[in-house]
Amino acid sequence: AQSVTQPDIHITVSEGASLELRCNYSYGATPYLFWYVQSPGQGLQLLLKYFSGDTLVQGIKGFEAEFKRSQSSFNLRKPSVHWSDAAEYFCATFNSGGGADGLTFGKGTHLIIQP
């Protein structure tokens, strides 16, 4: 079964600094990969997705992610964070065979923004 690992439970970044959130997946075939963001008390909002093609994908709110098959990674990046980016970030995947097990989520990374 596929799995997703987000190694960092918490990350603290100063406002205006760059950000990289790590995500590693475990799956043999080409996975569908997603990054979602969740603000307190809210549902999940899709930031970006990778299905195939260009390995650098652009998302909303200035986020981007790069798919690296050799490293089984799909790290999320932002060049300059804003205080409003403070939230929980989830990496997720399901297999291209139809998502028989639904989306598999990582445990999440809690992003704290320092003024």
Residue numbers at the binding site for another protein (CB under 8 A):
32, 34, 36, 41-46, 49, 90, 92, 94, 96, 98-108
**Would you give the distance in Å from CA 49 to the centre of its chain?**
9
Question: Is the CB of 15 or the CB of 110 nearer to another protein?
Answer: 110
C-beta of 39 vs 80, nearer to another protein: 39
Closer residue to another protein in complex, CB, 17/46: 46
CB of 42 to another protein, least distance (A): 6
Per DSSP, the residues of 26-78 read E-SSPEEEEEEEE-TT--EEEEEEE-SS-SEEE-GGG-EEEEEGGGTEEEEEE
